[in-house]
Structure 1
Amino acid sequence: MKGLRKALCALAMSSIAIFQVHAEEKVINVGTLSWEDLTPITGVTKKVLEDSGYTVKVTSFSEWGIAYAALGKGDIQILASQIDYVAQDYWNKNKRKLEKISPVSHGLYQGIAVPKYVPIDSLEQLNDNADKFGGKIIGIEPGSGLMSDASRAVSDYGLKLQLVEGSTVAMTAALKSAIDRKEWVAVTIWDPSWMSQKFEMKYLQDPKGVFPPPQGYYWIGKKGFSEENPRAREVLAGIYLPLAAITAMNAEVKDGKTMDQAVADWTAKNADLLKRWENIKSY
């Protein structure tokens, strides 16, 4: 009888463990923004989660506020974000409802840059050469963290150049046109970006420290995600995508591939790395 009780207890514990595994085998709702640093991170993570037995649904948002609101409400479960600087305000506002899961990349940098042939090296030198730049710094979409920092740089350095709001597409076109003609141009730019591979650029030194230092990317989740999804959390914790890989995938997209194709090719070339990421403890 005693042996039977032990056997039944062991069976019960085994059944609970099996139930927990099966209970977690479900859809993971992932949020992202359609930006060239976040889409490769999301795409590669989706592939790893799917290889680990999950069904992954991805929802794309237009800006941080909407994405963080959706995460806080539970409309999505996880989101890759730079919470130290770029999205710090959104993180601070919502962090009581959220949790930091794991780092997934590092090295995002944003600033004002010029082509390498332009013989200045610092933001402090812009005013002395304002006419050569047409009195303008070519910016991107208004409301972005980069444009907010660039506006603060204009103020803190007392720059006489106008920060021009626009779009990434318009900025890229202006940059290419100027480089083709070997003209002077100052733009708001960032890494990781295909532009850092395509064009020979240099960031202007920022002695006042207006622009943040290189930033990390984290998977963040709705509070309780790790406790409810321990195996998924372990999978996420194993993923780390170097900045060079993000840049390379975006360069392939610029050359004509879709992002899905670029992600598929990168994951195929790095199958051994993905296997190591997927080699997690079983629950």
Structure 2
Amino acid sequence: MFKNVGKRFAFIAVLALTLIVAACGGSDGDSESSGDNGESEGSNVGDGKSIELVYVEWDTEIASTHVVGKVLEDLGYDVTLTPLDNAVMWQSVANGESDAMVAAWLPGTHGDLFEEYKDQVEDLGANFEGAKIGAVAPSYLEIDSLEQLPEIADQVDSTVTGIEPGAGVVQASEEAVVEYGGDDWEVQTSSSGAMATALGEAISNEEPIIVTGWSPHWKFAEYDLKYLEDPKEIYGGAEEIKTMARQGLEEDLPNAYKVLDNFSWNEEQFNSIMLEIHNGTDPAEAAATFVEENQDLVDEWTADVE
């Protein structure tokens, strides 16, 4: 099974891989090789070559990165999945420290990072279209528009529950709460998991809450939620989730590049694996099941592989 490297050890892992590959001449003796990968199933397109995918630890990116990683693993690649913060993820691909990501939310969420690194990465296009960000609340909340924030300031302590600092949806929310609610409003940053926990607890008790939200996301299947209207369009329009690769990947790993270039799916497919993971299935196990049950889709992603 591919290895998932924690962000604290990402640099060490990359350095170790570099040294081992140099010593072994790029053979299938790479440090992250595994006996139960795609090679054991008869595919050796990757010939044990190493590839590292990076991602931010959002539910969408955990799901998509593990699925792509499993497909590459089944082709015989030695796959490493590394979770990183937003900015470090982009920097890693731009600097060639990692190979690719399927986690670029554009044009809004990662817009500033794309502008900073767009000349250092290769844009492979959208792997999901129709994504959205905004302020999300349970359907029972008394308001339907951000313009009504002052009406419920006391109920939610003039606070929107957010995710990681620096995320595009957090930055947009910080602007939106002041614009619509006033200077007393704030976004309380935490993490994607902490936000989801707070949302679930509030709904269980039918308490008022507003969170930074995005779709696709399992919470829209789990709970009865609504986006608060944003007449000033501070959150922008529809988003795409795009695939970005380091420069030179097509030459170095042409078949892996083809898979990444072909990778795309719809909301139903996306939500199905996110719900599996949310319900307690290990991401790698959920990805393996998804790949097994959606072979026609996988065949589309691997159609150009030689």
Q: TM-score range by the shorter chain?
A: 0.7 to 0.9
- Report whether the alignment pairs 1:31 with 2:34: no
Describe how 1:46-61 pairs up with structure 2 within 5 A.
Answer: 46-61=69-84
Letter in 1 for 2:99: Q
Decide whether the 8 Å contact of 1:108 with 1:216 is kept in 2: yes
Identical columns (%):
28
SS of structure 2 residue aligned to 1:96: coil
Letter in 1 for 2:137: V
Question: Where do 5+ consecutive residues of structure 2 fail to align?
Answer: 1-44
Provide the residue aligned with 1:136 in structure 2. Answer: 159
- C-alpha distance in 1 between matches for 2:62 and 2:53: 11
Q: Using a 3 Å threshold, how does the CA distance of structure 1 residues 123 and 272 change in structure 2: closer, same or farther?
A: same
Provide the residue aligned with 1:217 in structure 2. Answer: 241
- Report whether the alignment pairs 1:74 with 2:96: yes
1:233-261 Cα shifts (integer Å, max 9, x gaps): 32222221223322222221221211111
SS of structure 2 residue aligned to 1:280: coil
Provide the residue aligned with 1:263 in structure 2. Answer: 287
Letter in 2 for 1:195: K
Letter in 1 for 2:162: G
Decide whether the 8 Å contact of 1:192 with 1:244 is kept in 2: no
Worse-superposed segment, 219-228 or 71-80: 219-228
Q: Using a 3 Å threshold, how does the CA distance of structure 1 residues 116 and 242 change in structure 2: closer, same or farther?
A: same
Letter in 1 for 2:299: K
Describe how 1:72-111 pairs up with structure 2 within 5 A.
Answer: 72-80=94-102, 81-111=104-134
1:191-225 Cα shifts (integer Å, max 9, x gaps): 22221111111000101000132211222112232
- C-alpha distance in 2 between matches for 1:76 and 1:134: 42
1:50-109 Cα shifts (integer Å, max 9, x gaps): 333433222221x12212222222111212222422222222112222111232112332
Worse-superposed segment, 168-177 or 218-227: 168-177
Q: Using a 3 Å threshold, how does the CA distance of structure 1 residues 187 and 64 change in structure 2: closer, same or farther?
A: closer
TM-score normalised per structure 2: 0.76
RMSD: 2.5
Decide whether the 8 Å contact of 1:192 with 1:243 is kept in 2: yes
1:227 Cα deviation from its structure 2 partner:
4.2
- C-alpha distance in 2 between matches for 1:261 and 1:107: 27
Describe how 1:203-282 pairs up with structure 2 within 5 A.
Answer: 203-280=227-304, 282=306
- C-alpha distance in 1 between matches for 2:194 and 2:52: 33
- C-alpha distance in 2 between matches for 1:130 and 1:220: 40
1:151 Cα deviation from its structure 2 partner:
0.4
- Report whether the alignment pairs 1:171 with 2:195: yes
- How many equivalent residue pairs? 261
1:190 Cα deviation from its structure 2 partner:
1.8
Provide the residue aligned with 1:10 in structure 2. Answer: none
Relative contact order, higher structure (CA 8 A, sep 6+): 1
- C-alpha distance in 1 between matches for 2:234 and 2:68: 32
Q: 2:177 aligns with which of 154, 171, 177?
A: 154
Decide whether the 8 Å contact of 2:259 with 2:305 is kept in 1: no
Provide the residue aligned with 2:141 in structure 1. Answer: 118
**Structure (1 or 2) with the greater helix fraction:** 1
Q: Using a 3 Å threshold, how does the CA distance of structure 1 residues 170 and 278 change in structure 2: closer, same or farther?
A: closer
Letter in 1 for 2:260: L
Find the structure with the greater CA-based Rg. 1
Q: 1:202 aligns with which of 226, 229, 240?
A: 226
TM-score normalised per structure 1: 0.82
Q: Using a 3 Å threshold, how does the CA distance of structure 1 residues 25 and 132 change in structure 2: closer, same or farther?
A: closer
SS of structure 2 residue aligned to 1:59: strand
SS of structure 2 residue aligned to 1:190: strand
1:156-207 Cα shifts (integer Å, max 9, x gaps): 2243544333333443333223322323222222222221111111000101
SS of structure 1 residue aligned to 2:144: coil
